[in-house]
Amino acid sequence: MLCCGGVEEEFFGPPASQHAAPPNRAAPGQGRDPRGPGTMKSGAPAKVLPIEIPAIPLAELNRLTSNFGQKALVGEGSYGQVYQATLSTGEPVAIKKLDPSASNDPDSDFAAQLSMVSRLKNDFFLELLGYCLEANNRILVYAMTGQLTQKSDVYSFGVILLELLTGRKPVDHTMPKGQQSLVTWATPRLSEDKVKQCVDPKLENDFPPKAVAKLAAVAALCVQYEADFRPNMTIVVKALQPLLNTKPGQDSHQ
């Protein structure tokens, strides 16, 4: 089953190719138009089946996530961000807000893929419960499992560690492109030889290097893309405890 960091392109990449029905064999003189899939030379588009899950109003998703605020953020990937919320029915869900710049597919293609994915019933996929295409958004709502909740909590704690380390917000749209997502920007800089590049400049280099490097290493484990590779909170706490009393100019030897 896909986990929090993996509520991703798997739903709009491989699954589409693995579960799509084979193309109908065209009659003579009715070959496929190279301008795009599903279009015949006559210009008639292929029929798209209705989407079998409900559309959820953007206003409702904004309410559930506090306008997609950082407190609800539990995961991030190349295709967007994942937020944790609870529906009015009490059901916990993962809300995936896709990055509009991550795909050049037109809305019609996206809707066709969504129609197909809405019909998938497989233990290896998270259940897709709803979607939203309002105001140029592409938002998917998935059922959330207990495993997903535990691992997303670890991810959230990792983001908090990165905030403490860098002095930055989890998402800051005022930053230059490539630096707006804290996790994306910081992750390549969390190794011991590079961590100084992302330490909060307000500290003015007045910090214990080894302790900071260890904190960065723990944060890196917590925000790993694959949720199964993230440690549990017991391991995280044990790793951080030796750092509690570390002061500037002093390093933990544990």
Domains of the chain in sequence order: 58-143 (3.30.200.20), 150-239 (1.10.510.10)
pTM, whole model, 2 decimals?
Answer: 0.50
Confidence category of residue 188, pLDDT binned at 50, 70, 90? very high
- Write out the H or E segment, with its range, that includes residue 148: helix 146-166
pLDDT for 55 equals 92
Lookup result for tokens 């597919």: 105
What residues form the annotated binding site for ATP?
97
At 213 the pLDDT is 94
Instruction: Name the residue among 82, 86, 104, 105 with its Cα closest to residue 95.
Output: 82
pLDDT at 70: 83
Highest-confidence range of 57-66, 75-84, 127-136, 244-253, by mean pLDDT?
A: 57-66
Amino acid (one-letter) located at 78? S
